[in-house]
Amino acid sequence: MPDKSQRSQPHCPPGPNGYWFLGLFRIPTVKPWLTYVEWGKKYGDLVHFTRLGRHYLVINSLEATNEILDRQAGLTSDRPVHTELDDIDTVEFILLFSCYLLAQMPYGDEWRVNRRLFHQNFRPLASIDYRPIEIKHVHKFLSSIGSLEMSLKDQVSALSQGVMFDSVYGLEIYNNKEEMPTHARDVVDLSELILLPGWDAFKSIPFIRFFPSWLPGSHQWITYKKMGAAIQATKEDPWGQTMKAMKSDENHSSLIAKLMSEKPQNKSSQDIESIKYMGAQAVAAAADTTMSAVCTFFLAMSLYPNVQQKAQEELDTVLGHGKLPTFDDRSSLPYIDAIYQEVMRWHPAIPLGLPHFSIKDIYYRNYYIPKGKAMTHDGARFYNPDQFIPERHLNQKNNINSILAYGFGRRVCVGRYMADDMIWMTIASVLATKNISSLPNENVEDYFTDGTFW
Ligand code: HEM
């Protein structure tokens, strides 16, 4: 790459204009991905804007994403949240954010250690251990479908949270409204707000955190405080219950129990904290993501009955009518796999991805991208992108790494192998045994709430 002096006057990519420094006040907070796609059509695959002195870059093309987030991953793997919070050296910061979750950690040695721990326990081989639990919960879910006690969305949420609490802590979740799954969802819901451009005003205007709660602006700092409390509860409560279960039940089995009984027996408090954060991160990461993907699948099947019929024909031919699939059947069911990939493309669980933050100025094409950009992407690069067309994935050499919904570069989703198993098993099992009829509302966007997640 040529050095700075050799370039012909690099400049920031185009984007909507705002006020200098203060930036643009029309930044969307409602379904922002729709606006980013519109901006992409107007300005190109890189859209730049500023807000309160911070630069944002929306990446709308796979080519640019690969170049910036993969090939320059050493510079663009940081996260915006804590990097800037570190600048606020207050007691509140130390109290609230001494709790670090992997997804929000700044890129560096601490992230590397915690990412390795997570990877060891959720890599492809380790993820196979969770399959019996996934099958047990999917079968339980199948028998609960149609019950009037809970909405379909709550049942799906209980399924995705149930799998994770069972796998990590050996704890049963009967209802997603119980305290522990609610705290895990709070972590995600609150992070979703915090990651949107514009929710970081108190970093540029620090005295906001001294505002009384009734004053406009104070809600941002209050949200951070609530998130700190939710993280703390998600880290400590299931851990405490698992410690009790390990003492009272000799048959107790869980990831936490396995890690705690591994050598060395007398673990340092730092090692124990890392295990605790890994557990909390896992239940928080799974809270909305797998739920969102499974709900998207139900929506797609209700809108595209021909796809459902084709899938059921494949299942009937390969397995026999009404027979439940096993993981060994996956390679013989290409159309079911194509449906899974289309679910992940059509409405990704995290439409904007998680923001990346660059630690140094970088260059791409003739654009100068100043240090400190948050980067997101929009995956609309397929023909008729709004249509649900599983066929587009058939005869492609796709694998889990081609699924853009799992993110990019060194921060790519570290729980993707387990998520992949879990979502595939749910899709295949539902199609093998149920007929999904129409949902009440035909406007697809109405099913997708505001913010980062479904
Ligand atoms: C539909 C299911 C899921 C989707 C679509 C998804 C998507 C993502 C995305 C987009 C990222 C950010 C990647 C980036 O920065 O480029 C991410 C990060 C992460 N995901 Fe997932 N995820 C899913 C399920 C899970 C599950 C079940 C787990 C836990 C077992 C998990 C654990 C994580 C963690 C820990 C990170 C942070 C990684 C880091 O910052 O180094 N995810 N995920």
Residue 454 included in any domain: no
* SS3 assignment for the chain: CCCHHHCCCCECCCCCCCECCCECCCCCCCCHHHHHHHHHHHHCCEEEEEECCEEEEEECCHHHHHHHHHHCCCCCCECHHHHHHCCCCCHHHHHHHCCCCHHHCCCCHHHHHHHHHHHHHHCHHHHHHHHHHHHHHHHHHHHHCCCCCCCHHHHHHHHHHHHHHHHHHCCCCCCCCCHHHHHHHHHHHHHHHHCCCCCCHHHHCHHHHHCCCCCCCHHHHHHHHHHHHHHHHHHHHHHHHHHHHHHHCCCCCCHHHHHHHCCCCCCCHHHHHHHHHHHHHHHHHHHHHHHHHHHHHHHHHHHCHHHHHHHHHHHHHHHCCCCCCCHHHHHHCHHHHHHHHHHHHHCCCCCCCCCEECCCCEEECCEEECCCCEEEECCCCCCCCCCCCHHHHCCCCCCHHHCHHHCCHHHCCCCHHHHHHHHHHHHHHHHHHCCCCCCCCCCHHHHCCCCCCC
Q: Residue range 240-244: average pLDDT?
A: 96
Q: Radius of gyration of the chain from Cα atoms?
A: 22
Atom of ligand 1 nearest to the CA of 122: 30
pTM to 2 decimals?
A: 0.83
pLDDT band for position 2 (cuts 50, 70, 90): very low
Which residues sit with their C-beta closer than 6 Å to ligand 1?
A: 102-103, 115, 118, 122, 281-282, 285-286, 289-290, 293, 348-350, 353-354, 356, 405-408, 411-415, 418-419
Residue 83 included in any domain: yes
What residues form DSSP beta bridges with 357?
78, 374
Ligand 1 geometric centre to CA of 413 (Å): 3
pLDDT attached to residue 196: 62
Taking only the tens place, the pLDDT of each residue in 118-154 is 999 999 999 999 999 999 999 999 998 877 778 888 8
The closest residue, in CA terms, to atom 31 on ligand 1 is 415
Ligand 1 geometric centre to CA of 414 (Å): 6
Work out the mean pLDDT of the chain and round it to a whole number.
79
Distance CA 100, CA 21 (A): 30
Ligand 1 geometric centre to CA of 389 (Å): 25
Highest-confidence segment of 28-32, 91-95, 210-214, 304-308 = 304-308
Residue 453 included in any domain: no
Ligand 1 geometric centre to CA of 335 (Å): 25
- 398 CB-side CA count, 13 A: 22
Ligand 1 geometric centre to CA of 319 (Å): 32
Taking only the tens place, the pLDDT of each residue in 31-73 is 666 777 777 778 887 887 776 666 777 777 777 777 877 787 7
pLDDT attached to residue 204: 57
Picking from 76, 130, 126, 135, the residue whose alpha carbon sits closest to that of residue 106 is 76
Ligand 1 geometric centre to CA of 416 (Å): 7
Chain-centroid distance of CA 397 in Å reads 24
Residue 224 included in any domain: yes
> Is the preceding omega at residue 106 within 30 degrees of 0, hence cis?
no
Residue 335 has pLDDT above 80, yes or no: yes
Atom of ligand 1 nearest to the CA of 101: 35
The closest residue, in CA terms, to atom 18 on ligand 1 is 413
pLDDT attached to residue 426: 98
pLDDT attached to residue 94: 40
pLDDT attached to residue 40: 77
Residue 217 has pLDDT above 80, yes or no: no
The closest residue, in CA terms, to atom 43 on ligand 1 is 413
Residue 452 included in any domain: no
Distance CA 153, CA 131 (A): 22
* CATH number of the CATH domain containing 336: 1.10.630.10
Q: Which of 416, 421, 422, 426 to mutate to test the pocket of ligand 1 (most atoms within 8 A of CB)?
A: 416
413 is in an annotated binding site: yes
Residue 178 tokens, joined? 């119980």
Q: Residue range 155-175: average pLDDT?
A: 94
Tokens 């993907």 belong to residue: 293
Q: Give the count of beta carbons closer than 10 Å to the beta carbon of residue 437.
A: 9
Residue 250 included in any domain: yes
Q: Which of 192, 413, 423, 425 to mutate to test the pocket of ligand 1 (most atoms within 8 A of CB)?
A: 413
Distance CA 13, CA 368 (A): 8
Atom of ligand 1 nearest to the CA of 160: 27
Taking only the tens place, the pLDDT of each residue in 273-323 is 899 999 999 999 988 889 889 989 998 998 899 999 999 999 999 999 989
Give the residue numbers spanning the domain of 175.
4-447
Distance CA 107, CA 356 (A): 10
The closest residue, in CA terms, to atom 11 on ligand 1 is 413
Q: What is the ipTM of this complex?
A: 0.98
- Specify the number of domains making up the chain: 1
Q: Which of 62, 109, 289, 378 to mutate to test the pocket of ligand 1 (most atoms within 8 A of CB)?
A: 289
Residue 234 included in any domain: yes
Residue 404 included in any domain: yes
Distance CA 243, CA 257 (A): 8
Ligand 1 geometric centre to CA of 353 (Å): 9
Distance CA 179, CA 175 (A): 9
Residue 161 has pLDDT above 60, yes or no: yes
Residue 159 has pLDDT above 60, yes or no: yes
Ligand 1 geometric centre to CA of 283 (Å): 11
The closest residue, in CA terms, to atom 7 on ligand 1 is 406
